[in-house]
Structures are given as C-alpha cells and as structure tokens.
C-alpha cells in the first residue's frame, strides 16, 4: 500500500495524451499544465481542455508553435546567464555607456522588459484561479502570478512527484540549516540585511487571521506605512500635529521614536521589556531587532528634518500639508535609495541604475501595483542574518539581541551604522545558511506555500521565461544534495517554489541563483516604478513643495539619509562591507571553525 500513490501517479502520466487536447478521464486535464508559454488552460468536460494562446506569441493545441516574430526573438534573445555575465564584467565599456545616451536607453529597456513580466491589472488570487472581478477588486488578497494548483489534482504539484510532499521541518533542517556561516561573496553587510527587512515590511503584511493569501496592507507598494502606520488611527497617534512632524523624544540630545506612553499604539514587545524601552513606530513588529529600530529612527529624523525645510519655505502651510508633502518626499527618497543604492549593489551590475521616472513617460505603463504572494514568498532572505551581532566590539547572541531596544538607545544610531556596515551578511542561495534561531520562519514559508497550493518551481521558471531544470543536479550544481532532494520529491518538476529558490546554485560570485534574480527583479521594479509619484501627473516639483523638495528626492542616497540625521557621519556608509574590512574578515575566515551553539 505504501507504493500505491506513486503507482497511481505513474499510471496517470502514462495515460497523458499531451497535444491532443484530451487526458485521462479520471484526472483534471489542467493538472498536467499542458498549456505552455503563458497559455491559459480552460477545462470543459472531465477529459477535454483548450489552451487560450491569445497574445502569447504562440499557437497550436498547447501553445507550443511560435509565431514568426516570436521565433526570431527567441533566436536573438541572449540567455540570462550571458546577460548577467555581460552586465557584471567589462567595467571600462560600461563606464563609457553610462556617460552617454545609451545608459538611458538600456535603463528604459531594463525597466520595461522586467515590468512587463508582471501582469497589470492582476489576474489571480488564492481564492480564484481564473480571471474574476473579485481577484481584481479585492485588495485584501495578495495577487497571484500563477493560479493555485487545482484541488483535485493527484499530487500537490499537479501530476508529478509523490502524492504527499516531504515534511517541511525535515526539508528546512536538511537543506536550509546553517552548518557554517557563508558570507555573501558580493560583500553585503548588515546595513543591507536590515534595510531589506525594514523596507519590505511596508508591503509584506500577511494577515493570517483572515485566512489564506490575505494581506493587512492595502497600499500594495511603497507607502511608508512602516513609518507612519497602516491605518489612519495609528498615524494620528504617532503624529505631533505641529509643523507636520511626528512625535519624538530626546535622549542625550538626540531624536528617537516616542515611548508607547506618549504614543499609545500597539507594539509587539515581551512583558519583560521596560516601558521606557518600548518605542512606538509605524510597524508594530519592529521592536524585534535593533537594526529595524535603527532605520525607524533614521526615517523619523528625516521626516521631521524635511518638515523643517518645508516650513522654512512655506510658512503659510498647515500642519496637514506639511505632513502630507513630507511623506511624498520620503517615498521618493526611499525609491531613489532602493534603486540606486540597494538594487545597484544587489545586482552587481556595472550598468548605472537610475531612478528617473521620465524614462517611462513615452511608453505604455500602468501606475498601479499589487503585491503577489510569490513575491512575498521569494523575499524571505533569512540566510542574510549572521550567527551573532557585533556592536562596537561587543558580541550579542540572538537571545540578547532580540527585543533589545537598549542597544539602540545606549550606543546610538552612529555606532550601530558603523558596526552593521562592517559586519558581513550571509549568502542567500546554495542552501545550508539559515541560523537555527530563525529556521522556523523558513518552515512556515514552506507550509504557507502548501496551503496556498503554489505551483512547482519549474512552472515558475517557465512563467519567467527561464528554461526549466531537467535534474536536481543541474539545479544544485552538486551530487549529494541533489540525490537527497530527488529521493524526497521524486521528480524535479515536483520541487516546491521556495526550496527551489534557496537551494539553487548561486551565480558566480553572487548572493543567490539565477531564478531569484529573474523572478525577483520584475516584481521589484514594477512595484517601485508603478508608484503614483512616478506618474506624469505626480512627477513634478510642485508635488514635493517646489524645487527644494524635488531636489531632496533627486539627490537622496543611503549616505545622505544617515549623515544628515546624525551628529557625526560614520565612515563608509554603504550596503557592502568596506574593502579593507572584507579582506581582513576573509583571511580570518580561512582558519575559522564551524559556528557553535549560541
């Protein structure tokens, strides 16, 4: 009996009649995913389906025959690996390109090609695996790039693999758990790691109490709700209602978020945390890590600083107009920093990335975004976190670091920036690099994906125009992990979405593999450039209070965010470890022993 599910699946696969429009009468034919190249499977009777190939560039029963121009495009289009290699080499050539009109041309191409991979308006959600008004209009749901696997399919990923997926905890412990800390070869530091977590939590707000696939954040993009609160009531509690500013407290002459006594909003703190150390900010979970609270403090200071600038130029403006305009400026600053500092570092490209909304004014583009559940799944980058945290030479284990606001208040923002700049973050791809203290989060991601019935990793590869892997060894680049994965999943086409992203072999000298780049970049760029401030109606000086406010947006950088809001600018403010520090740490790591229990 133990082999019966596997035997059943084998029989069903033998019975498949791909290309004829018919499949076994006992199986939903769409479970075979017969429609290629973004074709939509429409089921009629139990044994009949049709593929809608409209505007896919393909035709035929299963949308597999390329049209004339599709064939030409497929012939000349470079492979992602070649494109990545070209963008990360030949610096002398890119220096020339970046200084000419070609830089703008290529940047426009990057934005349009990447963004066009994300459907707009949205198509599916976790309740509707077909086009519906509800999937479009109900913003309480995350959207979906691919519809859920049909509930009546013989296996969780359709027809491939076993009838039951391997235990999620076993997957995490066997393939995700860190054996020895592997630093990111691109040199990402903890400033990068904490920024990634801080930035994304303004739009990744899973609302499990509502059910599967719901989000608490209705903005679906860069709205700075993690700074201002995700409801009007929370925002009002955090606001000073004077000169447009947010509430704050002064400690040792420096500005910090107010305590929950002065701004009584709900915050997630354990009962043992002193009231004075329970700081109140827009995102209720950011008391968890001092690094997140550090960024919350920087943005609080920046908001109030911008309000002072606006007040000086617009003495007649009301508190409300000062607040609203400052918020728009900070949204612009955020997008500028994300594209030109954060994504620039992450990509490793020599192409100079630009935040220039005007590049898209002459092309068709929709200024609205919906956060997809796949983007939320993809962005669980917990391998970034180290085994311990070094602040000014003091080592903090997880137990001493979590919910410890006194680290921020005692050391100050400058000390944390300097310390986090100098500490390596971990490599995300390749597996075996998540600290044991946060492994449970990865387990939760796998279990959520199963509840949401996400399609397999290879199905998403195809959706983003990538060649599906033909074996686990091709995926991982080695034999041991590949063999174990094959034993657990039975078929490369049954591998789940998130495990595939994490165990995929990294690109050379890169933080993660090809799939994370090719799937993550379209979500990111569409979400950033789809912000309303990037539209022709908004992108003008008057939106930001005039030339001075517009200049703040257009000149924003991570270094300015820090250095304009501390007394003494720390050295080497960046998302990567300084070269001298990196070389020293690499030399020390050559003789390092595997990480021990904290």
DSSP 554-570: HT--HHHHHHTTSSSPP
In terms of Cα–Cα distance, which of 56, 82, 544, 576 is closest to 329? 544
User: Two tokens at 235?
Assistant: 């925002």
Return the bridge partners of 582, or none: none
- pLDDT value of position 520: 96
Options 201, 226, 380, 382, the catalytic residue: 201
Q: Residue 205, CB half-sphere, CA atoms under 13 Å: how many?
A: 27
Calculate the CA 202 to chain-centre distance.
Answer: 11
pLDDT (tens, 9 = 90+) of the chain, 598 residues, equals 334 333 333 333 333 433 334 444 589 999 999 999 999 999 998 789 999 999 999 999 999 999 999 999 999 999 999 999 999 999 999 999 999 999 999 999 999 999 999 999 999 999 999 999 999 999 999 999 999 999 999 999 999 999 999 999 999 999 999 999 999 999 999 999 999 999 999 998 887 766 678 888 677 899 999 999 999 999 999 999 999 999 999 999 999 999 999 999 999 999 999 998 999 999 999 999 999 999 999 999 999 999 999 999 999 999 999 999 999 999 999 999 999 999 999 999 999 999 999 999 988 888 989 999 999 999 999 999 999 999 999 999 999 999 999 999 999 999 999 999 999 999 999 999 999 999 999 999 999 999 999 999 999 999 999 999 999 999 999 999 999 999 999 999 999 999 999 999 999 999 999 999 999 999 999 999 999 999 999 999 999 999 999 999 999 999 999 999 999 999 999 999 998 776 666 566 545 544 433 3
Identify whether 121 is preceded by a cis peptide bond (ω within 30 of 0): yes
Confirm whether 379 is a catalytic residue. yes
User: Two tokens at 429?
Assistant: 């791809």
- pLDDT value of position 7: 37
Spatial separation of the C-alpha atoms in residues 129 and 66, rounded to whole Å: 26
H/E element holding 451? helix 439-451
For residue 239, give the 3-state DSSP assignment. strand
Q: Cβ distance 226 to 286 under 8 Å?
A: yes
For residue 272, give the 3-state DSSP assignment. coil
The answer for residues whose C-beta is within 8 angstroms of residue 69's C-beta and 6 or more apart is 57
CA angle centred on 224, ends 501 and 290, rounded to 5°:
70
- pLDDT value of position 554: 98
Please state the pTM of the whole predicted model: 0.92
Q: Cβ distance 427 to 179 under 8 Å?
A: no
- Phi, psi torsion values for 324, nearest 5 degrees: -65, -40
Residue 466: other Cβ atoms inside 10 A:
16
Spatial separation of the C-alpha atoms in residues 118 and 365, rounded to whole Å: 11
Options 58, 128, 256, 379, the catalytic residue: 379
Confirm whether 141 is a catalytic residue. no
- pLDDT value of position 209: 63
CA angle centred on 295, ends 544 and 111, rounded to 5°:
55
10 Å CB burial of residue 109 (0-12, 13-18, 19+) is exposed
Return the bridge partners of 48, or none: 22
Could you give the C-alpha distances from 414 to 250, 345, 572, in angstroms and in order? 16, 22, 12
Buried b (16+ CB within 10 A) or exposed e, 556-566: bebebbbbebb
Q: Cβ distance 227 to 295 under 8 Å?
A: no
Torsion 215-217-219-223 (CA) sign = negative
In terms of Cα–Cα distance, which of 60, 32, 64 is closest to 48? 32
CA angle centred on 594, ends 588 and 595, rounded to 5°:
95
For residue 313, give the 3-state DSSP assignment. helix
In terms of Cα–Cα distance, which of 68, 65, 13, 71 is closest to 37? 65
DSSP 174: I
Spatial separation of the C-alpha atoms in residues 230 and 289, rounded to whole Å: 20
CA R_g for the chain: 25
In terms of Cα–Cα distance, which of 151, 92, 108 is closest to 126? 151
Label residue 38 left, alpha or beta by phi (over 0 means left) and psi (-120 to 50 means alpha): left
């Amino acid at each position: 009996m133990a082999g019966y599910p596997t035997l059943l699946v084998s029989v069903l696969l033998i019975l498949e009649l791909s290309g004829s429009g018919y499949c076994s009468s006992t199986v939903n034919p769409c479970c075979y995913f017969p429609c290629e190249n973004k074709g939509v499977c429409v089921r009629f009777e139990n044994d009949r389906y049709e593929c809608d190939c409209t505007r896919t560039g393909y035709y035929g029963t299963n949308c597999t025959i390329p049209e004339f121009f599709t064939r030409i495009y497929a012939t000349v289009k470079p492979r992602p690996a070649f494109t990545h290699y070209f963008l990360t080499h030949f610096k002398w050539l890119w220096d020339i390109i970046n200084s000419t009109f070609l830089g703008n041309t290529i940047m426009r191409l990057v934005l349009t090609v990447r963004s066009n991979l994300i459907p707009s308006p949205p198509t599916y959600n976790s309740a509707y695996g077909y086009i519906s008004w509800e999937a479009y209009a109900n913003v309480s749901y995350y959207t979906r790039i691919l519809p859920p696997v049909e509930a009546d399919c013989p296996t969780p990923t359709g027809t491939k693999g076993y009838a039951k997926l391997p235990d999620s905890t076993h997957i995490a412990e066997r393939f995700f758990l860190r054996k020895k800390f592997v630093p990111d070869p691109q040199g990402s530091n903890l400033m990068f790691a904490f920024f990634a977590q801080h930035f994304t939590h303004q739009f990744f707000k899973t609302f499990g109490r509502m059910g599967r696939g719901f989000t608490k954040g209705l903005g679906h993009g860069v709205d700075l709700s993690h700074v201002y609160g995700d409801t009007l009531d929370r925002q009002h509690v955090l606001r000073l209602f004077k000169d447009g500013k947010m509430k704050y407290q002064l400690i040792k002459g420096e500005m910090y978020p107010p305590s929950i006594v002065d701004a009584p909003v709900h915050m997630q703190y354990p009962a043992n945390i002193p009231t004075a150390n329970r700081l109140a900010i827009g995102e209720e979970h950011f008391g968890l890590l001092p690094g997140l609270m550090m960024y919350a403090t920087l943005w609080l200071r920046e908001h109030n600083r911008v309000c002072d600038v606006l007040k000086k130029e617009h003495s007649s403006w009301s508190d409300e107009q000062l607040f609203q305009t400052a918020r728009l400026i900070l949204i612009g600053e955020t997008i500028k920093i994300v594209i030109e500092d954060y994504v620039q570092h992450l990509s490793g490209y020599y192409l100079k990335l630009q935040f220039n909304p005007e590049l898209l004014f002459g092309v068709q583009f929709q200024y609205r975004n919906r956060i997809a559940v796949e983007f939320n799944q993809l962005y669980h980058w917990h391998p970034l976190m180290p085994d311990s945290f070094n602040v000014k030479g003091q080592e903090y284990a997880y137990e001493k670091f979590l919910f410890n606001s006194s680290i921020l208040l005692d050391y100050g923002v400058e000390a944390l920036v300097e310390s986090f700049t100098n500490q390596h973050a971990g490599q995300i791809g390749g597996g075996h690099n998540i600290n044991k203290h946060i492994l449970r989060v990865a387990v939760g991601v796998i279990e959520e994906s199963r509840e949401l019935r996400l399609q397999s990793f290879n199905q998403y590869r195809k959706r983003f125009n990538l060649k599906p892997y033909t074996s686990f060894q091709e995926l991982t680049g080695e034999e041991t992990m590949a063999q174990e994965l094959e034993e657990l999943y039975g078929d490369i086409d049954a591998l789940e979405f998130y495990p595939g992203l994490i165990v995929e072999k990294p690109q050379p000298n890169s933080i993660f593999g090809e799939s994370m780049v090719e799937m993550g970049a379209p979500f990111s760029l569409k979400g950033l450039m789809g912000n309303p401030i990037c539209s022709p109606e908004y992108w003008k000086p008057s939106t930001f209070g005039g030339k001075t406010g517009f200049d703040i947006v257009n000149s924003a950088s991570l270094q300015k965010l820090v250095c304009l809001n501390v007394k003494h600018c720390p050295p080497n403010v960046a998302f990567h470890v300084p070269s001298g520090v990196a070389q020293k740490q690499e030399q020390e790591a050559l003789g390092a022993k595997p990480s021990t229990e904290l």
